Every structure is written in structure tokens, then in C-alpha cells.
Amino acid sequence: MAYDRDNIFAKILRDEIPSDRVYEDGEFVAFRDIAPSAPVHLIVIPRAEPPTSPAELTDADVGLAGRLVVTASKIAAQQGLAGSGYRLVLNCGEHAGQTVRHLHLHILGGGPLGPVA
């Protein structure tokens, strides 16, 4: 599927929609989810035009995907989640709950999350 340059994350990156940013570097931006699923719920997005979902990642994206996970872990530690634990989530497609077609990762923590599977 073609990338939509008007998706909500692209608009956040262009500052057309406000966000409560907690982290920024040259490659990624992290902000608080407006409808949190946990006491701490952050979203990490690439600044560049990324694949639209994990299913579109290719071998050429290994570096991006690895840096996304490493950056998310660093942000979780900065948010005080490393000691008690946190969850990193990549949703892929409608049935998994992906609502924005812009590769992104959720950081969930701040309290017991319960089992996933």
C-alpha cells in the first residue's frame, strides 16, 4: 500500500497536530498516546517516510527496525520503566489493531499489563 503523507503521524511530524513529545532525535520521535492503554503509553515513529507496517519491512530495513527497538528501550529506561518492565508492541494490519499506516512502535508500562498470549 502506498504511503499516505497526510496520515496523523506525518502531520504530527510536521507539527500540524500537537503532541506531547517525550523524545526526539534525528531519526525518531516519541510522544504520549492520546488514548493510553496503560499508565505509560508512548508511540515511537520514524521521522523519514517509513514502510506502512511491519509486513512491509524488507532486508533493507533491518537497520531501521533494530534502531527503532533500541531507541524504544532507551526511552523506556528514561521514563523509569526498565526496573519494573514494559512491553514493546508493533501492530500489523487491521485485525491486530493497526490504525495508522506509518510504521510505529508502542511502549506500554507503568503498571501490571497482564498476559498477551
Catalytic annotation, residues: 104
Query: What number of other Cβ atoms are within 10 A of residue 3's Cβ?
Result: 15
Residue 108 CA to residue 100 CA, distance in Å, equals 18
CB 97 within 8 A of CB 33: no
Residue 47 CA to residue 39 CA, distance in Å, equals 25
Give the H or E element holding residue 115. Answer: none
